[in-house]
Amino acid sequence: MNCRNIHRTIGVLLAIVSMLVLTAIPTFGHCDTMDGPVVKAAQAALKTRNVNLVVIWVKAKDEAEVKEAFRKTLKVRRLSRTARELADRYFFETVVRIHRTGEGAPYIGLKPAGTDLGPVIPLADRSLEDGVLAPLLKLFPDSARSDIGKYFSDAFSKKKFNRNDVAAGRQYVEAYSSFLECVEHLYEQQHQNAS
């Protein structure tokens, strides 16, 4: 095999590996944005000094690490405004990193608030806030609407849980995540088929 063929083979292999890596990363994930649900939960936990508001976003096995980060953050943020900003950022990054790892996804840092997530995720979040699914369903063909409705109903029914009931909170987070994964997958599939 000559050098040209070796370089071509390496190039093809690198392209394949790159495609595999990029397709393994969720396109519309928003749990790693500063205005996403994990950071919002972390902010609420710090504001109320109630760690239960955020541990629902991590696996039970990771709860101790989040609680320790929470304890340290509360201690440091009293020192000064700058210390508070740094401690809060540390806490947000810790919780999001642990959450992403629990999902089997890579953590590549916090994305800024207002990151463009496309049309699906914001509409899915709004549907859970308002309890109205119709605007989201307009993005999908009739054949997908039944599945979306099932995942939506499950998440919406678990939304109103006692904020100190971590087990119920984790059930909601699981249903919420499944709903978003469903609409994300169906939307990607629909656009791949259209290509």
What would you report as the CA-atom Rg of the chain, rounded to the nearest whole angstrom?
20
End position of a domain, from candidates 113, 140, 162: 113
Q: What is the pLDDT of residue 92?
A: 98
Q: By residue range, what is the domain housing residue 181?
A: 116-195
Residue 20 lies in a domain: no
Name the residue type at position 62: D
Which stretches within 78-165 are classed as H helix? 81-102, 120-130, 134-137, 142-158
What 3-state class would DSSP assign to 111? strand
Q: Give yes or no for residue 3 having a pLDDT over 60.
A: no
Residue 26 lies in a domain: no
**Taking residues 155-165, what's their average pLDDT?**
96
Token reading at 12: 């093809």
Q: What is the pLDDT of residue 193?
A: 75
Residue 10 lies in a domain: no
Pair (88, 140) in one structural domain: no
Number of domains observed in the structure of the chain: 2
Pair (167, 137) in one structural domain: yes
Q: Give yes or no for residue 25 having a pLDDT over 80.
A: no
| Residue in 23, 20, 28, 22 with CA at minimum distance from that of residue 184 | 28
With a pLDDT cut of 90, the percent of the chain lying above it is 75
Window from 16-30, 34-48, 77-91, 98-112 with minimum mean pLDDT: 16-30
Question: Cα angle at 39 between 36 and 45, to 5 degrees?
Answer: 135
Residue 9 lies in a domain: no
Q: Give yes or no for residue 11 having a pLDDT over 90.
A: no
Q: Give yes or no for residue 50 having a pLDDT over 60.
A: yes
Residue 186 burial class via C-beta count within 10 angstroms: exposed 0-12, middle 13-18, buried 19 and up: buried
Token reading at 23: 């397709």
Band the pLDDT of 45: cuts 50, 70, 90. very high
Interhelix angle 120-130/166-194, nearest 10 degrees: 140
Q: Give yes or no for residue 41 having a pLDDT over 90.
A: yes
Ramachandran assignment for 149, one of left (phi > 0), alpha (psi -120 to 50 degrees), beta (any other): alpha
**Taking residues 64-84, what's their average pLDDT?**
97
Ramachandran assignment for 68, one of left (phi > 0), alpha (psi -120 to 50 degrees), beta (any other): alpha
**Taking residues 112-129, what's their average pLDDT?**
93
Q: What is the pLDDT of residue 1?
A: 52
Note the residue count of the chain.
195
Pair (133, 90) in one structural domain: no
Q: Give yes or no for residue 27 having a pLDDT over 80.
A: no
Q: Give yes or no for residue 194 having a pLDDT over 80.
A: no
